Amino acid sequence: MKKSVIYGAATLACMSAVAATAGTLDDVKARGKLNCGVTTGVVGFSAPNAEGVWEGFDVDVCRAVAAAVLGDSTAVEFVPTTPKTRFTALSAGEIDMLSRVTTWTLSRDADLKFTFVGVNYYDGQGFMVPQELGVSSAKELDGATVCIQTGTTTELNLADFFRSNNISYEPVPIETVAEAQQQYIAGSCDVFTTDASQLASTRATFENPSDHVILGDIISKEPLGPTVRHGDDEWADVVRWSYNALVAAEELGVTSANIGTLAESGSDNPEINRLLGKEGSMGEMLGLDADWAVRIISAVGNYGESFERNLGSQSAIGLARGLNALWTEGGLQYSPPVR
Amino acid sequence: MSTELAFVRTEQIPPSPPPSSAIGPKKWIKDNLFSSIPNTILTIVTIWLIYTVLMVVVPWMANGVWNTSSLTECREVLQGKTGACFSVLSERWNQILYGFKYPVDSYWRPNTALILLAFAAAPVMFFDLPRKMLIFTAIYPFLAYWLIWGGTILGPLVALLGFVAGGFAFMRLSFKSFAAGFFGAIIAAFAVWIIGGGLIPETASENSLLAAVPSRDLGGFMLNLMLGVTCVSLSLPLGIALALGRQSNMPLIKGISVVFIEFVRGVPLITLLFVASVMLAYFFPPDSTVDLFLRVVIMITMFSAAYIAEVIRGGLAALPKGQYEAADSLGLDYPQAMRLIILPQALKISIPGIVNVAVGLFKDTTLVSVISMFDLVGMIRGPILASTEWNGVYWELLGFAAFLFFVVCYGISQYSQWLERRLATDHR
């Protein structure tokens, strides 16, 4: 009830805000900085390092958009948001885009009036339990206490899953992943449930990771992606294609290592030439210049490079690509053709 | 007859020392720790509890690791022994104290502001010091603003000039009537601010002496201290005004005060903070929002002012009616009676309550972490625990935060006790 009132107010104000500011792209160019909403800290996706520089998989999407629009991947004002403040920040115009492990759902799309421009990470909700519990399937968790982040889709999925399997549970509501970790380690809850990527990164930090198992059950689809407001399709296109450029670059084998020579001398492959602005006028169509994709790839690399650096084998988390492999390798990452 | 006595002592026996059971530590232990069976049981249980806690804490502290670069390395060094991973403090201390975006080469600026705060607060807190020092106290807020936020010095200067003009107008006009002085002062101050604000060139901040730091870049314990100091010092006068307003005979002023106090006291602080961070954004056009720090300061100040007003109203109510009548019989007008007779006594009675609110307020500043400001707790819960190196370090970080807060809150409490002793004029 309370939520729907807030969302209603958010929607109304959002519509008026959109009416007031016509072109986000022009606003960003005039400001010279991209206001990008991120988390207050999720391992691998967004967190400031010891020097205070934001790093992570979601952060790279912000940097890609900034590189494309402003020509400088550091011209980003990162606005930290919590699960509860993220949507109001976006609809109130405080941020230009939200890149913050946000699940694409129908109601967020249609009711909250947001446009999800793509899916940069296909996740699913899983369960982690201590090994000693001897549980092998989530269906055996009858009567368990479950640590769950409030205000997220995981909360709703959990209720659905337990209800449809006709088993009971006791939720332990928590605010952040860090808090959940502590509660789980201290034994306040038997089960910790959240997106599988976060379970993996959480488990990696435990003193004895092998004492905990991530169950095989994935109970939800969690397509996480960058989001913009409804009503500004030009801006949505820019963000969408900045992200698609990352995936297309990996499909075409363009990396941050070979981008210099490819941008210099072109390639035999017309698709690469179109992406890098050697042929056609793709950049102009987006309201950008011809080198937009070159700047993106030089700044953050292609999708695969960003994944490996932040989440994959080169990071402490060591996630496998899984569903996030390219479609040619059995995954779901697929960029519409750049033409 | 007397000669038949074998022995008569002519001098006194030297006093012998009391038996060992009635003196020294032995007696103290017997009287205080083992005086009865229940006391003995309690003593033994307490000693056992302290021993258990120390057996965990002491090795943990003593084995602490200070110079690794991640939690994993800490665990390698410790080889399974219990031990703290204090390396997180030695690597991230600057983020804990200043937030992660405050420019490192400018740390001296908040440090200087903190040292100067001691000089500015001294004449207010210890009134035996020369009154001339209050001049620096008046300048301090503007100086501290300039030091911490940087940018052009013209901004704080104009703000200061506005107050000076207001004060000057008040002194000139208040001879006629208080109202003329009050409104004259407000008009004068706003005139200076508007004209002065217009005269500052748009680009003044760009090549100023101190680089400008936006509010969003403030963080860490510095943010807690700034919020605490600003809000306490603003809410005290506001609280006094509200308490007096609530006792006023003028229905409008009384009504406004009552509604304000009851409304603000009836709403949780966290709700006010959400309003400040989320809802207020809707009332402003996207590019002209009021600074988030200012919004939060306004909300916390309102909140604590309502509480302080009620504490002071308690002090006012505790004064015998004779004090008010005595002031009237001397022919003092309202401001004089309040300033000279009523408030000094009422405030003295209210000191414990006011300090209680101040300590609570200071700790409540950590609530700003839920509206994604990176204060001390927000910094720990968010960025530091979300970094791949330090994900999973809790006791060390939160223990350090608790230590910082304890030092400040204990200091405030000690000061208030000194103040109570210093102001004690009764002979209870």
Name residue B264's amino acid. Answer: V
Q: How far is A187 from chain B (nearest CA, A)?
A: 15
CB contact under 8 A, A178 and B385: yes
State the pLDDT at residue A322: 84
State the pLDDT at residue A13: 45
Residues A66, A80: contact at Cβ < 8 Å? no
Residues B321, B247: contact at Cβ < 8 Å? no
State the pLDDT at residue A120: 92
Taking residues A123-151, report their average pLDDT. Answer: 88
Lowest mean pLDDT among A1-5, A277-281, B164-168, B189-193: A1-5
How crowded is the C-beta side of B272, counted as CA atoms within 13 Å?
20
pLDDT band at A12 (very low <50, low <70, confident <90, very high): very low
Is A14 inside any structural domain? Answer: no
Say whether both A128 and A116 belong to one domain. Answer: no
Phi-psi region of B104 (alpha: psi -120 to 50; beta: other; left: phi over 0): alpha
Is A31 inside any structural domain? Answer: yes
State the pLDDT at residue B24: 81
User: Residue A246 pLDDT > 50, yes or no?
Assistant: yes
Q: How many CB atoms lie within 10 A of CB B352?
A: 14
Distance CA B4, CA A257 (A): 125
Residue whose token pair is 């009287």: B31
State the pLDDT at residue B310: 94
User: Residue A214 pLDDT > 50, yes or no?
Assistant: yes
Taking residues B124-131, report their average pLDDT. Answer: 82
Q: Which of A196, A222, A248 is the last residue of a domain?
A: A222
User: Residue B155 pLDDT > 70, yes or no?
Assistant: yes
**Distances from the Cα of A326 to the Cα of A305, A306, A321, angstroms:** 13, 14, 9
- Please tell me which residue, B144 or A322, carries the higher pLDDT value: B144
User: Residue B1 pLDDT > 80, yes or no?
Assistant: no
Taking residues A136-140, report their average pLDDT. Answer: 86
Chain B residues in contact with A317 by the CB 8 A cut-off are 388
Distance CA A311, CA A169 (A): 31
Both tokens of A140, joined, read 């055996």
Say whether both A160 and A102 belong to one domain. Answer: no
Distance CA A88, CA A108 (A): 12
Say whether both A231 and A116 belong to one domain. Answer: yes
Is A3 inside any structural domain? Answer: no
Name residue A264's amino acid. Answer: E
pLDDT band at B49 (very low <50, low <70, confident <90, very high): very high
Q: Which of A200, A222, A244 is the last residue of a domain?
A: A222
Is A322 inside any structural domain? Answer: yes
Say whether both A111 and A256 belong to one domain. Answer: yes
**Chain B positions touching chain A (beta carbons under 8 Å):** 70-72, 75, 91-92, 95, 100-101, 216, 277-279, 281-282, 285-286, 289, 370-372, 374, 378, 381-389, 391-392, 394
Residue B181: alpha-carbon gap to chain centroid: 32
Q: How far is A84 from chain B (nearest CA, A)?
A: 9
State the pLDDT at residue B124: 85
Say whether both A194 and A64 belong to one domain. Answer: no
State the pLDDT at residue B278: 74
Taking residues B276-293, report their average pLDDT. Answer: 72
How crowded is the C-beta side of B88, counted as CA atoms within 13 Å?
28
State the pLDDT at residue B38: 93
Is A13 inside any structural domain? Answer: no
Both tokens of B249, joined, read 């005979």
Is A96 inside any structural domain? Answer: yes
DSSP for residue A122: E
- Its pTM stands at 0.81
State the pLDDT at residue B3: 64
pLDDT band at A293 (very low <50, low <70, confident <90, very high): very high
State the pLDDT at residue A5: 43
Domain span including residue A293: 25-120+225-329
Is A79 inside any structural domain? Answer: yes
Say whether both A109 and A241 belong to one domain. Answer: yes
B171-198 pLDDT tens trace:
888 777 777 888 888 888 888 888 888 8
Chain B residues in contact with A44 by the CB 8 A cut-off are 388
For all residues of chain B together, what is the average pLDDT? Answer: 87
Is A7 inside any structural domain? Answer: no
- Please tell me which residue, A150 or B413, carries the higher pLDDT value: B413
Say whether both A250 and A189 belong to one domain. Answer: no
pLDDT band at A84 (very low <50, low <70, confident <90, very high): confident
User: Residue B337 pLDDT > 50, yes or no?
Assistant: yes
Phi, psi of A46 (to 5 degrees): -165, 125
Number of H helices, E strands in chain A: 14, 14
CB contact under 8 A, A205 and B378: no
State the pLDDT at residue B333: 86
Give SS3 for A121. Answer: strand
User: Residue B204 pLDDT > 70, yes or no?
Assistant: no
DSSP for residue B236: H
CB contact under 8 A, A94 and B286: yes
Say whether both A232 and A244 belong to one domain. Answer: yes
Name residue A120's amino acid. Answer: N
What CATH number corresponds to the domain at position A34?
Answer: 3.40.190.10
Say whether both A325 and A182 belong to one domain. Answer: no
Chain B residues in contact with A81 by the CB 8 A cut-off are 372
Phi, psi of B85 (to 5 degrees): -110, 75
Say whether both A234 and A215 belong to one domain. Answer: no
State the pLDDT at residue A17: 45
Q: Which of A205, A222, A239 is the last residue of a domain?
A: A222
In this prediction the ipTM stands at 0.72
Say whether both A233 and A115 belong to one domain. Answer: yes
**Cβ contacts of A200-203, under 8 Å, gap ≥ 24:** A200/A317, A200/A318, A200/A319, A201/A43, A201/A44, A201/A311, A201/A316, A201/A317, A201/A319, A201/B388, A201/B391, A202/A43, A202/A128, A202/A177, A202/B391, A203/A128
DSSP string, B326-365: HHHHTT--HHHHIIIIIHHHHHHHHHHHHHHHHHHHHHHG
- Please tell me which residue, A192 or A84, carries the higher pLDDT value: A192
Q: List b or e across B170-196, with b for residues whose CB sees 16 or more CB atoms inside 10 angstroms.
A: beebbeeeeeebeebbeebbeebbeeb
Give SS3 for B393. Answer: coil
Domain count, chain A: 2
Residue B45: alpha-carbon gap to chain centroid: 37
Distance CA A144, CA A129 (A): 10
Say whether both A68 and A134 belong to one domain. Answer: no
| pLDDT > 70: percent of chain B | 96
